[in-house]
Copies of this chain bind each other. A is one copy, B any other.
Amino acid sequence: MASSRYLRRAAPPFVPLTLVAGAKAGAKHRQLYNQIRGHVLSGRLAGGVRLPATRSLARDLGCSRNTVLSAYDLLLAEGYLAGSRGSGTYVSRLLPDPFMALAAGVEAAGPKSHGGGSATLSARGRALAKIGFRPRGPVGAFMLGPDVSQVPFDVWGRILGAAWRRPVPALPHSGDPAGYRPLREAIAEYLRATRALSCDWRQVMITSGAQQALDLVARALLDPGDAVWCEDPGYAGLRGPLIAAGARLVQIPVDDQGLSVAEGRDRAPKARLAVVAPSHQFPLGVVMSLGRRLELLNWARSAGAWILEDDYDSEYRYAGRPLAALQGLEADSGDGAGRVIYAGTFSKVMFPSLRLGYLVVPKDLIEPLTQVRAALDDHPSAVVQPVLAAFIAEGHFSAHVRRMRRHYAARQEALLEAARRWLDGKLLLSPDEAGLHLVARLTPALGRRMSDTQAAARAAGAGVAVSALSGYAVEAQCDPGLLLGYAAVQEDAIEDSVIRLAKALDG
């Protein structure tokens, strides 16, 4: 039953108040509260206007006096109404009038007064938004990334649960901005053994991945306007932090020995930072030669610049010895004033949504970078760190890497074999000693019929996810090619996907 009454008081303005019975409408006192509040905010009930006595209003609305009392009490507590039951209740005079005018619909002047759309972002915000985040595509051939189906989650989940059912007493409390010591120790040991890095645990800082690592390094070591060497073609994900830091990105071409230091010296000799992936360039797969590594270190020393070594998939090497990291080479070959900052990640070995990585920083940067980290993002979450530390210490991590390395090597071989059989005349695939993807070059014949972007679109139409190599280039002119990730595809599904790809590329 609806009862609708207008306030019968003579003092204007009259305001409509309606109470509706029934569970759906909610408690009556709350309905009354909401309506009076709305009238106050809209200006219909102006400051100083006196409200009816609770008994009168209750009679008018056909509800209990308690309903009105409850509504008035709430409004008094929050400041919409003032006064007291004894001396009368009125709309608070402390509410600003100009607000009422606005609320009644008067538009405010000013260029940025309307929300809406990306026009509201700052110039920096627009540049960042433009980088073009693409939602993850469907899972399947030939998406980039690891095979997460083989991660021993039974073990992982068991350790995770055990670590938190009865956590070590210090664990829930705020931690070290550089991260949980046992994990830092486990990482330092692992890197010394497998990558010939020169480091102790204090040089290890835990991050959420390469982007956060670069974000931290860029803001701590660069000022707006400082130049940075970026591999071209390269990994677009690293551009955001550099742009956000106000850096001047200088694209440096990559040849068969890696980033061209000669070009870098030519285009930006006074750059403050070079971001490179010397173990396995992305996307081309080039391994930076020893000579080029020494040239790069040479330049960094003479320029007083830093090098961020992005080592994103170094666990997966199928032939040959793993090359020592650039960081380790530096330590062995010079005066020891470290210029190389090493960034690694667990995303490719564990799973992408883990979001855990690490930096290995030169000793003189430990303290400053820790301070900057703390100023920007406190400390890394403690939930996963002890679990990963145990996972590594108990040998599950190494076992998983070894197991996946065998799978991935076999999948690469299967892809090469299927390519030889089905993609002849269209795509040329070469083996890669490392990584989780191959670069397939368009043959001249195919290249005359379509660009690599068009080839990728055709493949997508056939349900095969490949990325165009040209999409990774900013200024560089690459021979057209496609990236085929093979790690996440079951071996026996590879040939079928290659056949579908071949058909999609037919004339």
Q: Which A residues fall within an 8 A CB radius of B? A: 37-38, 41-42, 74, 77-80, 92, 94-96, 98-99, 102-103, 105, 108-118, 120-125, 128-133, 135-136, 139, 145, 148, 151, 153-154, 156-158, 160-167, 171-177, 208-209, 211-212, 215, 219-224, 226, 237, 239-241, 243-244, 246, 272, 289-291, 294-295, 297-298, 301-305, 320-321, 323-324, 332-335, 337-339, 351-356, 362, 364-365, 367-368, 370-372, 374-384
A338 touches B115 (CB 8 A): yes
Closest chain B residue to A337, Cβ basis: B115
A297 touches B99 (CB 8 A): yes
Give the number of copies in the complex: 2
Partner of A332, one of B38, B99, B173, B376: B38
For residue A283, give the distance in angstroms from its CB to the closest CB of chain B. Answer: 18
B96 touches A375 (CB 8 A): no
For residue A313, give the distance in angstroms from its CB to the closest CB of chain B. Answer: 15
Given A105-B335, A353-B171: A221 and B376 interface contact (C-beta under 8 Å):
no
Given A102-B334, A323-B78: A120 and B377 interface contact (C-beta under 8 Å):
no
12 extra A-B contacts, CB within 8 A, seeds A160-B164, A240-B376, A355-B382: A99-B294, A102-B301, A120-B368, A122-B223, A125-B222, A125-B372, A145-B174, A157-B163, A157-B164, A160-B383, A175-B353, A211-B378
A148 touches B172 (CB 8 A): yes
A371 touches B131 (CB 8 A): yes
Chain B residues with CB under 8 Å of A379's CB are 353, 355
Chain B residues with CB under 8 Å of A374's CB are 131, 133, 240
Chain B residues with CB under 8 Å of A95's CB are 290-291, 294
Chain B residues with CB under 8 Å of A226's CB are 122
For residue A77, give the distance in angstroms from its CB to the closest CB of chain B. Answer: 6
B41 touches A333 (CB 8 A): yes
Taken together as a complex, chains A and B put the C-alpha atoms of A110 and B226 apart, in Å, by: 16
Chain B residues with CB under 8 Å of A332's CB are 37-38, 41
A99 touches B383 (CB 8 A): no
Chain B residues with CB under 8 Å of A323's CB are 78
Taken together as a complex, chains A and B put the C-alpha atoms of A124 and B221 apart, in Å, by: 8
Closest chain B residue to A291, Cβ basis: B94
B78 touches A321 (CB 8 A): yes
Closest chain B residue to A302, Cβ basis: B108
Partner of A295, one of B96, B241, B337, B375: B96
Taken together as a complex, chains A and B put the C-alpha atoms of A164 and B133 apart, in Å, by: 28
Given A164-B157, A291-B94: A212 and B377 interface contact (C-beta under 8 Å):
yes
A113 touches B302 (CB 8 A): yes
Chain B residues with CB under 8 Å of A246's CB are 224, 246
Partner of A215, one of B94, B112, B377: B377
Partner of A381, one of B129, B324, B371, B381: B381
